[in-house]
């Protein structure tokens, strides 16, 4: 057993920001949405996760939008999904209690994503971070712009509006223990026309934890723009699941997603 006297220093110049695949399920079925509505069935989540895992995707986010609290059958279903992921995977949707948080972690997820529940009980972030570490707690903030209210935070999968300013809410989530924020623009969801960059930079400038941008990505240029705006990581759904102007279902994850790179593709079913 010989070890060099001088430690080796890893060159990290080639490290690139994470490009995360965001998958949405409605009652367990994989769907794509536009502006959080018009769910379109795109396939089986287990198979999709397996394909993204084979393609070496950086990370996965799984969001259930059915709105029901996590229960036994859902827990069993997401355990099967997590078992296909050989990379970090987080879960959000219907997490209401610390028991739910423990159940999701036990299922094999690295992180829990908390949204609606934080508006009723911000302490759940604190409690979860104390038990599993801040890196395991993601605060999700979903933002919509309306003529009447301007840019505001929404809960319950976009159905309920709140009066809290986005930046103030972001700070409170981080103070409570969230180790990461997932910032979604509801307006840009499914548009594939680019992220809400002002939203991304506003939140990124206000907090000290990594910020993930979600909603609107359609190409590698969009991903780079969000990084330039201050996002630590970028997430996309439609971009990796839909293909072409007719939005045919085709799973892709390029070898070098930030630069478009050579794409590997596969049907989902």
Partner 1 sequence: MIQAGKKLSPRVVDLGVGNIGSVLKMLTRLGARAEVLTSPRDAGRDAPIVLPGVGHFSRAADALHSGGWRSWLDAAHASDVPILGICLGAQLMCLSSEEGPGSGLGWVPTRVCRFPSLNAEGAPLRVPHMGWQPFTPPASCFPFVCEPGRMYYAHSFYIEPSADGTCHPYQSEYGGVRFGAVVRARRAVGVQFHPEKSHRHGMAFLRSWLDWASKERL
Identify which of residues 101 and 192 has a Cβ nearer to partner 1 in the complex.
101
Contacts of 268 (CB under 8 A, 6+ apart): 30, 42, 43, 44, 47, 48, 51, 241, 249, 250, 251
When the beta carbons of 36 and 240 are compared against partner 1, the nearer one is 240
Between 53 and 161, whose beta carbon lies closer to partner 1?
A: 53
Distance CA 91, CA 70 (A): 11
In the complex with partner 1, which residue's Cβ is closer, 120 or 175? Answer: 175
What part of residues 88-147 is at the interface with partner 1 (CB under 8 A)?
Answer: 88, 105-108, 110, 130-136
Q: How many CB atoms lie within 10 A of CB 162?
A: 15
Told to check if 232 binds partner 1 by CB under 8 A, we report: yes
Burial environment of residue 193 by CB neighbours within 10 A (0 to 12, 13 to 18, 19 or more): exposed
190 binds partner 1 (CB under 8 A): no
Strands, E, within 44-149: which ranges?
59-64, 89-92, 111-114, 137-146
For the window 39-68, what string marks contact with partner 1 as x by the rule CB under 8 A? --------------x--x-x----------
- Which residues contact partner 1 (rule: CB under 8 A)? 1-12, 14-18, 53, 56, 58, 83, 86-88, 105-108, 110, 130-136, 179-180, 208-211, 232-233
């Amino acid at each position: 057993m010989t070890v060099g006297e001088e430690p080796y220093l890893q060159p990290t110049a080639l490290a690139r920001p994470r490009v995360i695949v965001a998958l949405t399920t409605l009652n367990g079925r994989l769907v794509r949405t536009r502006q959080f509505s018009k769910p379109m069935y795109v396939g089986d989540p287990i198979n999709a996760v397996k394909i993204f895992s084979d393609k070496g995707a950086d990370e996965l986010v799984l969001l259930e939008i059915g709105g029901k609290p996590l229960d036994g059958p859902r827990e069993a279903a997401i355990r099967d999904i997590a078992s296909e992921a050989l990379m970090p995977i987080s879960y959000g949707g219907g997490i209401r209690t610390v028991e739910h948080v423990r159940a999701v972690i036990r299922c094999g997820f690295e992180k829990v994503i908390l949204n609606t529940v934080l508006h009723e009980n911000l302490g759940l972030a604190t409690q979860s971070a104390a038990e599993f570490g801040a890196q395991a707690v993601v605060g999700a903030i979903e933002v919509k712009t309306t003529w009447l209210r301007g840019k505001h935070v929404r809960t319950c999968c976009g159905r309920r509006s709140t009066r809290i300013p986005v930046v103030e809410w972001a700070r409170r989530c981080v103070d409570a223990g969230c180790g990461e924020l997932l910032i979604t623009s509801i307006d840009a969801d499914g548009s594939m026309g680019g992220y809400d960059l002002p939203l991304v930079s506003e939140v990124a400038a206000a907090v000290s934890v990594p910020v993930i941008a979600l909603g609107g990505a359609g190409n590698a240029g969009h991903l780079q723009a969000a990084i330039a705006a201050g996002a630590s990581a970028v997430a996309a759904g439609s971009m990796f699941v839909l293909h072409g102007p007719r939005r045919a279902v085709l799973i892709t994850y390029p070898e070098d997603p930030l630069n478009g790179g050579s794409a590997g593709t596969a049907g989902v079913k």
